[in-house]
Structure 1
Amino acid sequence: MGKSKLKGKDLRKINYSNNQAISLAIDIISKHYKHSSKEEQLALLHDVKQHYTDYLDHEHWNTLAREFQPVEVLKEKSEIPLLKDGGQFQVFGRKHITSNAYQQMELAMRLPIARKGAMMPDAHQGYGLPIGGVLAAENAAIPYGVGLDIGCRMSLSIYDLDSRYLQKHAYRFKSSLKERTNFGTGGELGITQEHEILDRTEFGATSLLKQLHGKAVKQLGTSGSGNHFVEFGLVSLANDNGLDLPAGEYIGLLSHSGSRGLGASIAKHYMGIAMEKCLLPKSARHLAWLDLSTEEGQEYWLSMNLAGDYAKACHDQIHHHLSKYLGIKPVINIENHHNFAWKEKQAEGEELIVHRKGATPASEGELGIIPGSMTAPGFIVRGKGHEGALQSASHGAGRKMSRQAARESISGSAMKKLLSEHKVTLIGGGTDEAPIAYKNIEEVMKSQKDLVEVIGQFLPKIVRMDKN
């Protein structure tokens, strides 16, 4: 932006006195309006401040607009007290879980709406609920209990081909990932795509969803950043796998990502509303919920489900494009959400809203995929319907190291050597996703043998991730 780059002093001249508002304004401008002139940027920022009510539902400006709401509006509402003693929750693999994640779950169980809870062995600290936390609530949805990436999920296509085919056509498999996948914020494939998800009437249900339809069209079939990936590898199936496939070796295509900008925008918008409507103590503010009997709660539920279906559509398109490029057809597909909320009837007959934030649904007989890392196997599983786990399992190995710590612990050359030793090709990616950043998937699986049955494994061979 050169000379046109906004600074705090520029905003103070148009009566921005709140440091948080100044920071948000500069961030939003740099992301979404950097090509506008400085005068245009300041005029827009002045209008947001003067007419904040017009921007409360805006895709980009909603968080800034809320900074200008009168404090009296919030003071009129009383803070909702937490329960003194929270309900009990079952923990699987406690030795793998840090105290801060455990304390987050304890706090969540003190919500007046909380009825049941559980922690998976891959659990670690997150916003609101810990990642790997499962919470059943009464007639309420917690936006951060679902997470920012609504409907983040796994999808595995299995092809009746073996390792020799993958080795022989390795170059073409690599090329398919380079040419038919796209990663990162704002990414798009740049091709015209048709899919029924884009014609869903829900996109006209709210002003926010109307605004987000164009983004959904552009980002269909793409993947996010961070730990999202698309990879080819080898699948080994056990005897009596129940998939109508013989035991043996196959080629697999495994993808991990969610609902892209659509889901993130929905999550941020309704999290803001939840925090306004549901005033909790500061320590629990990210656990603010929306009552499903209210208009806002119904809007979030509709939007969340649309985002979940959109996430599935993205995976379907990824697998379609890659299979078509390679000229091969899958014999089966296995998939599951792991950032979502479901209405589920409990054993006692009560219907609750079960939030699985980084947890795999594992009802009796339900199939799922639990990935490891770039050099560790993932597992194809069948749920056992464990009631104490709220019919859930882990969604992966789980991080044991922050991204920053991982970057500081392993060099690029050391990571390349490790991948070479395991005969794994990486396209993109960074040391923040180094295998050492994750828990031992074998130990995690041992901690949840009562939750799922392993019927197969997936071993990564050609991996694509976002460039860091």
Structure 2
Amino acid sequence: MNSTPPRVRVIASPQSWVEGEALRQLEAAARLPGMRSAVGLPDLHPGKGAPVGAAFTSQGVFYPFLVGNDIGCGMGLWALDLPARKAKPERWAARLDLEGPWEGDAEAMLADAGVRPSGFEASLGTVGGGNHFAEVQRVEAVHDATAFQALKLETDRLLLLVHSGSRGLGEHILRAHVDRHGAGSLAEDSAEARTYLARHDQAVGWARANRATIAERVMRGVGAAGRRVLDVCHNSVTPKTWEGGRGWLHRKGAAPSDQGPVVIPGSRGALSYLVLPLGDGEEHAYSLAHGAGRKWTRTHARERMRERFTPDALLRTSFKSHVVCEDRDLLFEEAPPAYKAIDRVVGDLVDAGLVRVVATLAPLLTYKTRSQRE
């Protein structure tokens, strides 16, 4: 077990607002037995029991509650063969529907991804709620032509960004753990740890297959084919070796900095940033911000947005992009003002020497849900 005091670091400039409760949660997690470090990224905000936008390292033990209930949640980027000039976002917004079970062969899709069925296959290919989305984007600007070309991207072709996870599977796995262990740790060499990790890895693979299935549904809906450029996981616990030791790396709403380029999205009314990670990684727990990060709670966002906007007004953005969201509560909860400014979040990472911006991507169509709450 690690005997040295854990390091606590928050990567955010004085211009970035970080809620006090998020800092309290970060420091509380750092005090847990076996913890080595706790790092808050610029999108840090309070979560259920542990902050979101954070990464943690531990030795000898790991903590499933620091991963949370959406195990495997992450983001995939697809390069489409569709020219930007042929975009029809208004038409797509009227007809694109990702609700209901996917009509393809779910078990075959999972088998291709090396994942066994979980019993949650009825949800495969669905986006889910919260901050999940599928977004068709255009290239706004290229800032690093060499890196952009290395990814075989083209400025006049559309892109598809998918943010989703393991749907009910991750919640089921965490609930089984919490029912037995609460917020407690698992010793790395225990039978309980091996059981959890096997199920965790299944959820991570299932979530990756889910994003691929969502992408297939969107591409069919907009009449395009595509190539997956990247896919990264934001919620996970994995073994990690660092100088002088080894242990466990937890990410709770954090993008990896040790797996190549990542996309850091803003709200549905803001740019997304394609970035290249820099540095050795250990001082920031091998992690980056995974998005803009919430500025307001969902309750606060609903109240404030209802005072300022009609639902119809939130179906178009400042980029003139279209939003598909027929759940009114979710439409208000996920309104752009409820999130931090993505340029400040990415700017903090650039100033800290953690990333180089490759390109910025602008939204054309953001899909949330067709479902309406009763």
TM bin (shorter chain): 0.7 to 0.9
Does structure 1 residue 248 correspond to structure 2 residue 155?
Answer: yes
Aligned: 1:442 with 2:343: yes
2:42 match: 121
Does the 8 Å contact 2:93/2:323 carry over to 1?
Answer: no
1:330 positional shift: 1.8
Match of 2:276 in 1: 382
Q: Could you say if the C-alpha distance between residues 199 and 324 of structure 1 is closer, same or farther in structure 2, counting changes exceeding 3 Å?
A: closer
- Is 1:260 matched with 2:167? yes
The verdict on how the C-alpha distance between 1:377 and 1:213 changes in structure 2, with shifts beyond 3 A counting, is: same
Structure 1: stretches of 5+ with no match in the other structure? 1-82, 204-211, 276-285
Contact 1:149 1:264 in 2 (8 A): yes
Contact 1:426/1:462 (8 A) holds in 2: yes
1:361 aligns with 256
Q: TM-score, normalised by structure 2?
A: 0.87
AA matched with 1:457: T
Shift of 1:436: 0.6
Q: Whole-Å Cα distance in 1 between the matches of residues 5 and 312 of structure 2? A: 47
Asked if residue 136 in structure 1 is aligned to residue 57 in structure 2, the reply is yes
CA RMSD of aligned residues (A): 2.5
Where do residues 348-427 of structure 1 align in structure 2 (5 Å cutoff)? 348=244, 350-363=245-258, 366-384=260-278, 385-411=280-306, 413-414=309-310, 416-417=312-313, 419-427=316-324
Matched-pair identity in %: 29
2: CA distance between counterparts of 1:313 and 1:304? 14
Following superposition, the deviation at residue 414 of structure 1 comes to 4.3
**Paired residue secondary structure (1:252):** strand
Judge conservation of contact 2:67–2:235 (CA < 8 Å) in 1: yes
| Partner of residue 125 from structure 2, selected from 217, 221, 231 | 221
Aligned pairs (5 A) from 1:13-412: 86-93=5-12, 95-166=16-87, 169-170=88-89, 173-174=92-93, 177-178=96-97, 181-182=98-99, 188-189=101-102, 192-197=105-110, 213-214=118-119, 216-236=120-140, 237-238=142-143, 239-242=145-148, 243-245=150-152, 248-275=155-182, 286=183, 288-348=184-244, 350-363=245-258, 366-384=260-278, 385-411=280-306
Q: 438-447 or 236-245, which moves further after superposition?
A: 236-245
TM-score (norm 1): 0.70
1:159, CA displacement in angstroms?
1.8
Structure 1 residue 201 displacement after superposition = 9.2
Letter of the 2:101 partner, please give it. Answer: E
Bigger proportion of residues as strand: 2
Equivalent pair of 1:383/1:391 in contact (CA under 8 Å) = no
Q: Which residue is equivalent to 2:359? A: 456
- Offset, 1:197: 2.5
Amino acid in the other structure paired with 2:322: T
Letter in 1 for 2:40: M
Q: Is the 8 A contact 2:269 2:317 kept in 1?
A: no
Gaps of 5+ in 2: none
* Distance of aligned partners of 1:191 and 1:440 in 2 relative to their CA distance in 1, 3 Å threshold: same
Is the 8 Å Cα contact of residues 176 and 326 (structure 1) preserved in structure 2?
Answer: no
Amino acid across the alignment from 2:243? A
Structure 2 residue matching 1:89: 3-state secondary structure: strand
Correspondent of 1:465 among 368, 371, 374: 368
Q: Which has the larger radius of gyration?
A: 1
Change (3 A) 1:374 1:89: same
2-structure distance, mates of 1:404, 1:230:
24
